[in-house]
Each structure stands twice: as C-alpha cells, then as structure tokens.
Copies of this chain bind each other. A is one copy, B any other.
Amino acid sequence: MAKIAPRTLSGFMELLPEDQIRFDRMAEIIRESFSVYGYAPLDTPVIEAAEVLLAKGGGETEKQIYRMTKGDSDLALRFDLTVPLAKYVALHYGQLTFPFRRFQIGKVYRGERAQRGRFREFYQADIDIIGDGSLAVINEAEIPGVIYHTFQALGLKDFVIRVNNRKVLNGLFLAMDLQEKSGAIMQTVDKLEKIGREKTAAILVDDFSVPQADADRLLDLLTSGQRGASPVAILSSYMGKNELLDTGIEELLTVAKHMEAFGVPDTHFVVDLTIARGLDYYTGTVYETIIPAHPEIGSICSGGRYDNLAEYYTDRQLPGVGISIGLTRLFYVLEEQKYLNDKLLAAPADALVLPMTDDWGPAIAFATALRTVGLRTQIYGEDKKFKAKMSYADKLGIPYVVFLGEDEIAQNKVTVKDMITGEQETITAREAAERIAAGVKDGRTARPIQAE
C-alpha cells in the first residue's frame, strides 16, 4: 500500500507523553486556581460563524484567521477567547447572573508566520468578570490575587505583577494638554521598556510634536518608580488636576491597598506607571506579569479593565476585567529555560505489575487493588524476556515494578522493586500499596515549575 508520510503541521505543538503529563498538570493547577477564586468554567465552540467572530473586523485578525466554507456557511476558528465570551454573554444574557465570572482554557488559532516558539494553535487560559452596567473596582483589585496564587501554585517563585491604570495615564496626558494625541502617546509609552527612554522621548517629540519639556516631565514621572521613588506618593501630589486623573489615582491606590489582604506579598507586586498594554480597549487597571530573571520572555499573564465587552453584539453596557495566560507559549518557554521541575513524576503509571505465572489472575487482582486506592497502575502482559519488561518500566520512568511469581502467590505476597534504589522486598499486597503510595506522593504532587 502506498504510504502517506505522517507529519504534524508546523506551528502546532504536539508533545511526547512525558511532556504532555507536565503540560496537563500545569493546566490542571490553573483550572483549580481559577475555580478557587469562584470563576465558573466555560467551553465555547472552536468554530463560530465568521460574521460573528469578525464583527469587529479589520487588522491582523482577518489576515491570520482560519476560515472555511461548509455548505452555505462562512465559518472561522476562534482566534482568542474574548470574542467568544462577548458573543456568549450577549447571547445568553437573560440566563446569566452578573457579575458573571468565568474562566476558559482552550485552543485558539492564528495563522502567524511560522517561527521558533510561535504557535498557530495554542492554549489560552483566561478569566474575566463581566458586570451588567457597572462593575466595582474591587474586582480589579482581585486579579493580582488570582495571578499570584496561580503562578505560586505552579511553582514559579520569581515573578512580579506590574499594575497601572489607564485613567492615570490619560489623566496625565490631559493635565499636560496632550489629550488629543493620547492614543499615540499610550502606544509609545508602551514600548518604553523595549526601546529605552531616549528613543521614547524622541518619538514623542519628533513624531507627535510633544514639547521636549513635556516629554521629559512625563517620562520622569512614569519612570520615577524605577528610580526608587514611590509612584504612589508622587501621584498623590498630582491629585486635583482633573477628574480622570483623580479617579485613576484613586483606583490604583485602591488596588494597591488591598494586595496584602488578597495575599499578594510586596515582593511580587509593583505599581509601574510605564505599563500601558497595547490593546486599545483597556480603560482602567492594566496588568502584566514578568519573570525578572528573563525579561526577554515578556509578560506571561496580562490583561486589564475594559468598559464594553460586547458592543458589536448588544447595546448593553457590559464592563469587565480579565487576564490571559498564553499557556502553550509559557510551557515552551519554561521548557526552554529549564524551568520544568524534574521532581514531578511524569511517568504514565506509579506501578507496573508483572504476572510471572500462566495464571494472570492474582496479578490482575493485585493491579485492581492498587487502582482502587487511586494508584496509577499498568499490567505488562506481553510475551517478552524479563529484561525487556524491566526496560519498559525503566524507559517510561515508572517508579515501582511488582512481580507475582509462584512463590509470591503461594505466600499471598508480592515483590516490589523500587526502580530508583534498586531495592526489592516481598511484602503483602496492602503493604505494597502503602509503600508505593508513600513513594510516589512527592512526585505526584510536585509543582510543575521548579523552584530556583
């Protein structure tokens, strides 16, 4: 028969079992963490009507989208989880209770140029809180708590959540009489960390005709935190210039004030006035999360407050706040940086049971007993040499192998071999289950990211 060469599309992550176990453990912890914060799970279709998905239209989105015709239908694959959320909330508005808190972990599709570390199919892990008409600022304050708890639970130690407020930036632009160029200035400020202060100032002055003195004053203020000053103290001195700025400062102070109560330590949280986030639809608090040791990775979790989730579908005002973790890229980067924890047991089983007699009954019954107490168990029944059987366990990293030969069966015992120490012992089934459970506990509960 003529063969088709098997291949996986470029830009599509496909993991070997060990890495898949690590990836799934990360996703599971994120899911648990989001659940603990009282977000409900959501799972919208991967395919939507193109018209619905592209309601906003234009830009990179349309170029990158995976689109197809099926029958008479013009269909597209979702490129993020926010547009499907907007559709969902607008469509099911009458059946939802607000504020509506949901998380979604799912694959999204973007036909980007193939490139190392860039993915066309990737997981996003999002949370959002959607208000009906209004949404209290306490929800914005909660988000760093979720971010901190989630990365903490994953095992990441060294990360910082940076927070700013768009109203503060726009209020400052207004105070400096730069409001007409606020969009362009916001975009420029957003690049400050990447391109440096000098270039930022040059763009402001040359491209957007901001007077040099204003540009200096603005950048002095925004970067004051980086020079050890308290941006909060400095901002307080700006109070009263205009209402927008006052509101922004108040919100930012409110968010900062509650960090301790939300369990976020000082070491992992900073108000940083240079954070703008690219997307133009943020209107209040904005977030990003960085690993200081690896600034090149960029933000691993970002988001912000927006005023109008579903304006393309409904007249209702649905303000919200949300964040997104690009899980596929995060996993890729963590692996590349050797941040994945070797101590996490990435084998598909805790124990491998080897029947050594013609009657498999006792070995099967023992495996069933292990499974009943939640131990992940395989039975190896292939007709191979003993060495091949041990090599199977070894290659998969299964930590315990259990033999049931004539002697063991006669004594109503089993022989357990610890594959790491090489020690083996003939003990009762119950003792074996306890031994294995104790032996795999640390490996099964280890955090997927390693502590430095």
Contacts of A45 in B (CB 8 A): 8-9, 12-14, 121
Do residues A365 and B261 form an inter-chain contact, with CB atoms below 8 A?
yes
Contacts of A379 in B (CB 8 A): 138, 142
Do residues B136 and A381 form an inter-chain contact, with CB atoms below 8 A?
yes
Contacts of A395 in B (CB 8 A): 97
Contacts of A42 in B (CB 8 A): 17, 20
Do residues A48 and B261 form an inter-chain contact, with CB atoms below 8 A?
no
Do residues A38 and B68 form an inter-chain contact, with CB atoms below 8 A?
no
Do residues B368 and A262 form an inter-chain contact, with CB atoms below 8 A?
yes
Name the segment of A154-162, A210-218, A268-276, A306-314 touching the other chain: A306-314
Q: Given A68-B67, A88-B14, does the pair A6, B368 have CB atoms closer than 8 Å?
A: no
Do residues B101 and A382 form an inter-chain contact, with CB atoms below 8 A?
no
Do residues A14 and B312 form an inter-chain contact, with CB atoms below 8 A?
no
**Cα-based distance from A379 to B38 in the complex (angstroms):** 9
Q: Does A339 contact B (CB under 8 A)?
A: no
Q: Mark contacts of A202-241 with chain B using CB atoms, 8 A cut-off: 1 yes-contact digit, 0 otherwise.
A: 0000000000000000000000000000000000000000
Find residues 238-287 in chain A having any chain B CB closer than 8 Å to their own CB: 257-258, 261-263
Contacts of A262 in B (CB 8 A): 364, 368
**Cα-based distance from A127 to B109 in the complex (angstroms):** 26
Q: Does A343 contact B (CB under 8 A)?
A: no
**Cα-based distance from A371 to B382 in the complex (angstroms):** 47
Find residues 30-49 in chain A having any chain B CB closer than 8 Å to their own CB: 35-49
**Cα-based distance from A304 to B345 in the complex (angstroms):** 31
Q: Does A139 contact B (CB under 8 A)?
A: yes
Q: Does A15 contact B (CB under 8 A)?
A: yes
Contacts of A263 in B (CB 8 A): 368, 371-372
Find residues 51-94 in chain A having any chain B CB closer than 8 Å to their own CB: 51-52, 55, 66-68, 70-71, 73, 75, 86-88, 90-92
Question: Quick one: closest B residue to A392, CB to CB?
Answer: B97
Do residues A136 and B382 form an inter-chain contact, with CB atoms below 8 A?
yes
Do residues A87 and B8 form an inter-chain contact, with CB atoms below 8 A?
yes
Q: Does A322 contact B (CB under 8 A)?
A: no
Q: Given A47-B109, A368-B263, A381-B136, does the pair A258, B9 have CB atoms closer than 8 Å?
A: no
Q: Given known contacts A138-B379, A261-B362, what 15 new A-B pairs fall within 8 Å (CB)?
A: A3-B313, A7-B87, A9-B45, A9-B47, A12-B47, A17-B40, A17-B41, A20-B41, A36-B376, A37-B376, A38-B352, A131-B382, A136-B382, A138-B364, A139-B381
List A residues at the B interface (Cβ < 8 Å): 1, 3-9, 12-17, 20-21, 23-24, 35-49, 51-52, 55, 66-68, 70-71, 73, 75, 86-88, 90-92, 95-97, 99, 101-102, 107, 109, 111, 121, 131, 134-139, 141-142, 145, 149, 257-258, 261-263, 310-315, 348-349, 352, 355, 360-362, 364-365, 368, 371-372, 374-383, 392, 395-396
Can you list the 7 inter-chain pairs with the closest CB atoms, starting with the nearest? Answer: A138-B381, A68-B68, A38-B378, A40-B348, A261-B364, A38-B349, A17-B40
